[in-house]
Amino acid sequence: MIEIIILYILNKYDLTIYRLSKTIDEYFFAYIKTSSGTIIPALKRLEKISCVEFSEKMTDGGMLSKTYSITKLGKKHLCDLLLSYKNKNPYHTLNEAKILLFCSSVLSVSELIEFKQNLLNHLELYKIKLEKGLKNDYITLDEIQKRTVNITINELSELIKLL
């Protein structure tokens, strides 16, 4: 998910690692908190597959600074990542769906249709799983537990309506 976020931000701005981290925090404050330990390895992976590039310059303080930008291949890779989203952990579905929707503005109209259908499938499957869990006679949930699961089901329903 971090690679999607990085490519989305670099699609808008050319940034240093520090500014990239701050910009991610500003845009995605509701969904993710990043660190350089997450961003730097992701940037290296993206650089290795030619999705990002950097230019170096000396700062006024005499330090070497790298400014990262997205490449044409990176723009294509961003769209491909959005279109081929596979949910690896169903318990991250809701948060990841919000991030993906946030980044989906980079897609063309036809890609957006495909993207929404794929995401819709993931959301509906997770919603069904939660609803089945609530009806499972072999587990006993107290009222707070039931309400908590129902809040997640309601959030999923709202996202499904959005799509």
Please write the tens of the pLDDT for every residue from 88-142. 888 889 999 999 999 999 999 999 999 999 999 999 999 999 999 999 989 899 9
d(CA 100, CA 105): 9
Please write the tens of the pLDDT for every residue from 16-26. 999 999 999 99
Contacts of 121 (CB under 8 A, 6+ apart): none
Q: What is the DSSP string of 1-37?
A: -HHHHHHHHHHH--B-HHHHHHHHHHHSTTT----HH
Output phi, psi for 54, to 5 deg.
Answer: -140, 155
Could you give the angle at the alpha carbon of 110 between the alpha carbons of 105 and 111, nearest 5°? 55
C-alpha separations of 88 from 47, 118, 161 in Å: 24, 14, 23
d(CA 90, CA 86): 10
- Topology of domain 1-84, per CATH? Arc Repressor Mutant, subunit A (1.10.10)
Instruction: Tell me the three state secondary structure of residue 147.
Output: helix
HEC string of 88-115 equals CCHHHHHHHHHHHHHHHHHCCHHHHHHH
Please write the tens of the pLDDT for every residue from 36-86. 899 999 999 999 999 999 998 887 777 788 999 999 999 999 999 999 998
Q: Would you say 93 and 122 are in contact if contact means Cβ atoms under 8 Å apart?
A: yes
d(CA 113, CA 136): 35
Domain boundaries, the chain: 1-84, 88-163
